Amino acid sequence: MATFNNTDLAAFKDVWVFCEQRQGKLMPTDFELISEGRKLADELGVQVCGLLLGDGVDGLARELGGYGADKVYVCNSPLLKDYTTDGYAKVVCDAVESRKPEVVLFGASTLGRDLGPRCAARLHTGLCADCTHLDVDMPIYKDFLRENSTLPSERIEGVKTAKVLGQDHDVSRDLKMTRPAFGGHLMASIICPRFRPAMATVRPGVMKKAPFDQKKADACQIVALDVALTREEIHTEVLETVKAAKKLVDLIGADYIVSVGRGIGKDVEKGLKLAEDLAAELGGVVGGSRAVVDAGWLSADHQVGQTGKTVHPKIYVALGISGAIQHKAGMQDSECIIAVNKTPTAPIFEIADYGICGDLFKVTPLLTDAIRAAKAAK
């Protein structure tokens, strides 16, 4: 069936980033995605544009330019003050249908993963969830495979076309969206060859933010779009938005993370205290495995892993964590991994730069002291 988006693919141009704001504040992922979008737009030879929805949010647009946005489309309406699936999906889809971007990226937040699929279904196109890597350019993509896969080089060289409706389709201009599947056991690169735009949600904290450039911010073009949205089109009502009372831990931005696992179970309070002391000495924060979060020892914002956060600190210390694949999925790209575990066969040692086999209650305070001494000796 011919629809508006599968007949003339060449009519679709530009890389768009849906820029999420909450209570009038941009999300850190917006800057990561604009920076990543800039890279993709350069590979495609097109512009990268932000799409910003809200009520009176014009003032936020220019900052996006500082990270590389050529243009920011701003949609203002009192009806867009609170996030609603219906309101936001209508405005995003209207903008996409009239301006025809080739690629649309969303942050894989709890809102992005609500909005993205609704829009993709309405726009009749594909969406790849929770991506951790994006490419267009083939040589760059192949370099990525060489470094990050166990595929033999002949297989990598042979990546050229995909079977699309029985025909060989050249993938050199397609967005290649790579993501983990099956709990991190497997990676897959996905394309969306028949329909435009190609859409992806992208995991927060994975893409690198470019340095802010005031000149680019000043040059960024800001375009107000008309919003055709009525209250009757919104079928949900936000009664209240409640912020968590306590400050959430910033794992994604942290350079040093000390994570605890079920191994602290013998004396949870003491285990957490030891981890906090070590984190404080390093100038970092405490994280945890899912087992610890499920047990209620730490709140969910501390969870590292496939269903938690992806982190890449300078040092990741794993105290009493076994190293299940779902945990590794969130921390294996840390610069330096230190594992303390009393079981010599714990899988965490397979990826640790430095392993100490021992009781964390004994080792942790010694390590904190030793690090304090080493810093003082510098």
Partner 1 sequence: MKIIVCVKQVPDTSGKVAVNPDGTLNRASMQTITNPDDLNAVEAALALKDTTGCQVVVVSMGPPPAEGMLREVLARGADEAYLVSAREFGGSDTFATSQIIAAAIHRIGVGEGDIVLCGRQAIDGDTAQVGPQIAEKLHIPQVSYVADIQMDGSTVTCKRILEDGYMTVRTQTPCLLTCIKELNTPRYMSVPGIVGCYDKPLTVLNYEALKDEPLIEVDTIGLAGSPTNILTSFTPPQKGAGMMLEGDGKETCEKLAGLLADKHII
Ligand X SMILES: Cc1cc2nc3c(=O)[nH]c(=O)nc-3n(C[C@H](O)[C@H](O)[C@H](O)COP(=O)(O)OP(=O)(O)OC[C@H]3O[C@@H](n4cnc5c(N)ncnc54)[C@H](O)[C@@H]3O)c2cc1C
Residues in 303-362 at the binding interface with ligand X, rule: CB under 6 A: 303-308, 320-322, 324, 326-327, 330, 340-343, 346, 359-361
DSSP per-residue letters across 24-38? TEE-HHHHHHHHHHH
Q: Which is nearer to ligand X, 50 or 288 (CB)?
A: 288
**Binding of partner 1 by 1 (CB under 8 A):** yes
Residue 251's φ and ψ, nearest 5 degrees, are -70, -40
CA distances from 378 to 107, 219, 314, 371, 374 (A): 41, 45, 19, 11, 7
Least gap, CB of 66 to ligand X (angstroms): 33
Q: Which is nearer to partner 1, 163 or 215 (CB)?
A: 163
Region binding ligand X by CB under 6 A among candidate stretches 110-118, 140-148, 161-169, 290-298: 290-298
Amino acid at 39: K
User: Of 34, 52, 57, 356, which lies in the binding site for partner 1, with binding defined by CB under 8 A?
Assistant: 356
Least gap, CB of 74 to partner 1 (angstroms): 23
How many angstroms from the chain centroid is the CA of residue 27?
11
Ramachandran category for residue 182: left, alpha or beta (phi over 0 → left; psi -120 to 50 → alpha): left
User: Of 116, 271, 287, 320, which lies in the binding site for partner 1, with binding defined by CB under 8 A?
Assistant: 116
CB 55 within 8 A of CB 81: yes
Beta strands in 109-175 (DSSP E): 127-131, 133-135, 161-164, 167-170
User: Of 7, 59, 98, 186, which lies in the binding site for partner 1, with binding defined by CB under 8 A?
Assistant: 186
Name the one residue in this structure whose structure tokens are 């590979």. 43
- Any idea what DSSP says for residue 227? -
Q: Which of 40, 16, 31, 9 is nearest to 175 (CA)?
A: 40
Q: Which does 4 bind (CB under 5 to 8 A by kind): ligand X, partner 1, none?
A: none
Which residues, numbered 190-209, are part of the site for ligand X (CB under 6 A)? Answer: none
Q: Which does 109 bind (CB under 5 to 8 A by kind): ligand X, partner 1, none?
A: partner 1
Q: Which does 282 bind (CB under 5 to 8 A by kind): ligand X, partner 1, none?
A: partner 1
CA gap 230, 242 in Å, rounded: 26
Q: Which of 229, 195, 201, 235 is nearest to 90 (CA)?
A: 229
**Binding of partner 1 by 197 (CB under 8 A):** no
Q: Which does 116 bind (CB under 5 to 8 A by kind): ligand X, partner 1, none?
A: partner 1
Helix (H, G, I), strand (E, B) or coil at 285: strand
**Binding of partner 1 by 251 (CB under 8 A):** no
**Binding of partner 1 by 355 (CB under 8 A):** yes
Write out the residues near ligand X by the rule CB under 6 A.
183, 261-263, 266, 289-292, 303-308, 320-322, 324, 326-327, 330, 340-343, 346, 359-361
